[in-house]
Amino acid sequence: MSGLKRLWQGVIGLEVHAQISSASKLFSASPTAFNMPVNTQVSLFDAAIPGTLPVLNQRCVELALKTALALNCRINDVSAFDRKHYFYADMPAGYQITQHFRPLANHGRLEFYWQPDDNDPTSIAESVADIVQLQLEQDSGRSLHDSERQLSLIDLNRAGVALMELITGPTLTCGAEAAGFVRELVDLLRCLGACTGSLAEGALRVDANVSCRPAPPAAGGSGLGVRTEIKNINSLAALARAIDFEVARQAAVLDAGGEVINETRALADDATGRSVSMRDKERVQDYRFMPEPNLPPLFPSDLLPAASVDLPPPDQLPPGLRRRLRQELGFSYQHLASSVVAARPLADWRYLDAAVTAAKLSRPVTSPHLGRWFVHCFLGNCFRLLGESAAAEDSGISVESFGAFLSLAMDCAMISEEVGERLLKRMFAQPSMDPLAEVQRLNWFLTRNPTEVASRFSQFFHRQDIASKNLDQLVKYGKFKLRGNSKKASVIEERFLALFMEATEYTVDRTVAAKVVADILQSGVAPPPS
C-alpha cells in the first residue's frame, strides 16, 4: 500500500489587483494614461517629496464601492488607510498606502460558469467564489532593467495609480475554475466601468496561492496544506496552466514523502505553466503596518448613493445575465463565455427574449443552438455589416421576423444550419423578408425521408457522372471493405457525403444522408434515378 500514490486536490485562492478607471491617481491629481513617456505623469506626492500630503480621489472610492455592491459584499461602516512598509526602488516613500485592518468591504461572492473539460465544448460547471476582502491601495512604480549597462531604471508613471485588491477565499480547485472566475470578474468590472480588465496592459494582475490536500479532505482537519504564491501571471490561459502545473508539482513532492516549501514562485514558461522559485516565505516579513496619519477615517455609507446611482440590477450584470441565458435559453458554455455576452447592451437580450416568445419556443429552451444562432450568426452579421457598436434592432429585422427564423431553425428544425446561415444573410440584405416564404420559394426545406434522400443521391450520382470522376475512390472503397478497414472506408464515405450535401445545397438531413450514402456505396452500384 505504501507504493500507491494518493489522490490530491488543489486548493486555490487568488489576489486580484485591478487598476481603477479614473482620470487621476488615488492620492494626487496626476493623470493615469497608459503607455506615456517615462516619468511624465508624476506629481511631487507620487515622488514622495517631503511635505506633500495625500488627497483621496472620491471617484476611486465610488467605483470600488460600486464593485463591492455588485459582488454582494458587506460594506463596512468605517474604513481606514494604513501604511505597509517595504523598501523597493520603485516605492519612493518606503511604504504603500493600503487598507490592511479596516478595508472597504468584506464577505462577498461571485457566481460564474466554467468549462471543466477543454476537449468537450458541451461540458459546463457552475461555481461560487468567496470574496474575503475588497480594499483600496496605491500602485507602485516600475523598475526597468538594462542588462547591457547593468542598470535599473525607475518609471514612476504608475506610482500612485488607484488599485482595488480583491482577495478570494481558498475555494477554487483547479486552473480552469480559477480562469473562469477571473474571466467573470473582468466582464463585471468592464460592465461597471470600474476597470478595463486588460491583463496585457497590466490593468489587471493576478497572484495565485496554491496548496494541495488529500482528496477527499480528511474529516475534522483544516483541509489546507502549505501554500505557494505564483506571481507575474499575464493571461487567463497562463493562469490556468500555472495553477495546474503547481498542483501537479506539489502532489509529486508529497507523493515522494517531501514537504512543500512556503515560497513565492514566478511564472517562467507561459506555454507549460512552469514556475520557478523566487524567494522562500518561511520567515514572515514584518511590514510594520501602522495607521496612515495623513488620512482621516472613511465612512463608505456617505458615498453609497453616488456609487449606486447607475448600478444595474443583479439580473442585468454579467453573472445574472449568464445565469438566465443558461437556465432559460439553454446557452452552452462556449456562448456564455463569449465576451459578447457582457459587452452587448441590455436591449439586445430583450430583443432575443421577445424573438423566443414570438417563435413560441418552449421554456426553458433545452437546445444549445440558440446561443449559436444569436451570438455567432445574428450578432456576427450585425458586427460585420453594421459595425461592432450596432445593436440588434439596428439590423432592421423585426422581432417577429427573427422569431419566425428561430422557429424554422430550431423549433421545427425545417432547415439545416448551412441554409439558416444563408437565410440570415438574405434577411440582413432585405430586413422586411418573410423567412418562411423565402424558404418555400427556394425549396430550402430539409428532406428527411430516406427514400427521397436515396432518390436524390441516385440522381446526383448519375447525372453528374460522379462514378467516372471518382472511379479510383470507388475501387479503393471496395478494397477497404473487403479487408475490413472500416476507418479508411468511412473517409471515402465522408468524401461522397460532402459532395452530395454541397450539390443539394444542404437541403437534406445529414444523418439520413450519411446512412444512405454508406448503404449505396456498400451495395456496389447506385441505382439509376427513377
CB atoms within 10 A of CB 419: 20
Four-point Cα dihedral 296, 298, 303, 308, nearest 10:
150
| Ordered strands of the 125-138 beta sheet | 74-75, 105-114, 125-138, 162-168, 8-19, 204-214, 228-233, 263-269, 274-280
Question: Would you state the pLDDT for residue 465?
Answer: 67
Query: How far is it, in rounded angstroms, from Cα 170 to Cα 223?
Result: 10
Residue 82: CB atoms within 10 Å = 22
Strand partners, 129: 110
Grid cell at residue 164: 482595488
Name the nearest CA neighbour of 300 among 107, 15, 74.
74
Are the beta carbons of 307 and 69 closer than 8 angstroms? Answer: yes
Taking the CA of residue 20 as centre, how many other CA atoms within 13 Å lie in the half-sphere pointing to its CB? Answer: 31
pLDDT at position 17: 96
3-state secondary structure of 325: helix
Q: Which residue ranges in the chain fall short of pLDDT 50? A: 1-4
What pLDDT, on a 0 to 100 scale, did the predictor assign at position 4? 47
Residue 258 burial class via C-beta count within 10 angstroms: exposed 0-12, middle 13-18, buried 19 and up: exposed
CA gap 378, 67 in Å, rounded: 32
Q: Cell for 299?
A: 465612512
Tell me the one-letter amino acid at 366.
Answer: T
Q: What is the DSSP code string of 222-276?
A: ------EEEEEE-SHHHHHHHHHHHHHHHHHHHHTT-----EEEEEEETTTTEEE
H-helix segments, 289-372: 304-308, 318-327, 333-336, 339-343, 346-358, 369-371
Per the document, the length of the chain is: 530
- N- to C-terminal Cα separation, the chain: 71
For the question of whether the overall pTM of this predicted structure is more than 0.95, the answer is no
CA atoms within 13 A on the CB side of 475: 5
Alpha-carbon distance values, 162 to 46, 178, 501, 530 (Å): 12, 24, 58, 77
Between helices 486-503 and 471-483, what is the axis angle to 10°? 150
Q: Is the dihedral of CA 169, 67, 77, 46 positive or negative?
A: positive
Element at 84 (helix H, strand E): strand 82-85
Can you say how many angstroms the Cα of residue 437 is from the centroid of all Cα atoms in its chain? 39
Q: What is the pLDDT of residue 2?
A: 40
Within 13 A of 77's CA, how many CA atoms are on the CB side? 0
List C-alpha distances in Å: 168 to 29, 185, 375, 447.
Answer: 31, 12, 31, 54
